[in-house]
Structure 1
Amino acid sequence: MEDPVDNKPPSFWQMLHSVMAAAFGVQSGKNRTRDFTHGKPSHFVLLGVVFTAVFALTLFAIVKLVLHFAGV
């Protein structure tokens, strides 16, 4: 993995990984340091809102599908 003291901002995939890890409470200290040092808060907030919406809609769809097959 890359060194957190790198002066490059995190890539989209690194930010997505960080948002997902933070959502489940398993963010590593190395990645957290990289994010707070080189990341823009607005990018993480926007990605977090989008991730939360997609996660909630996915759960909603799964519940609707299960209820449909259960005949409710």
Structure 2
Amino acid sequence: MDDPSEGKPPTFWQMLHSILAAALGVQSGKNRARDFNHGKASHFIALGALFTLIFIFVLIGLVQLAVHLTAR
């Protein structure tokens, strides 16, 4: 069966899905092949770096919240 999106670059949401799946280590072979064949590495690097920064800030916030709640 032919996929109508075949040959097109991945959309922002598809790239975000790929970044999240890669962070969890559960990327499907079909999506990985799409990303490597039709995506731009610079887009994935930028989105991955942004995801990593957000993840770090969320972790820092959670640690600060836990320290604040246990310091009572």
**Residue range with higher mean Cα deviation, 44-53 or 2-11:** 2-11
* Gapped regions of structure 2 (runs ≥ 5): none
In the alignment, what sits opposite 1:71? Answer: 71
* Gapped regions of structure 1 (runs ≥ 5): none
Q: TM-score, normalised by structure 1?
A: 0.90
Is contact 1:4–1:30 with CA below 8 Å preserved after alignment? no
The aligned amino acid for 2:42 is: S
The aligned amino acid for 2:51 is: F
RMSD after superposition: 1.9
In the alignment, what sits opposite 1:12? Answer: 12
State, as a whole percentage, how many aligned pairs show the same letter. 58
1:5 Cα offset (Å): 6.9
Between Structure 1 and Structure 2, how many residues are aligned?
A: 71
Structure 1: which 4+ aligned runs deviate by more than 6 Å?
A: none
Change beyond 3 A, Cα 1:4–1:50: farther
Q: TM-score, normalised by structure 2?
A: 0.90
Work out the CA distance in 2 between the residues paired with 1:44 and 1:14: 11
Provide, for residues 25-67 of structure 1, a one-character-per-residue CA deviation record: whole Å limited to 9, x for no partner: 1100000000001000000000000000000110110010011
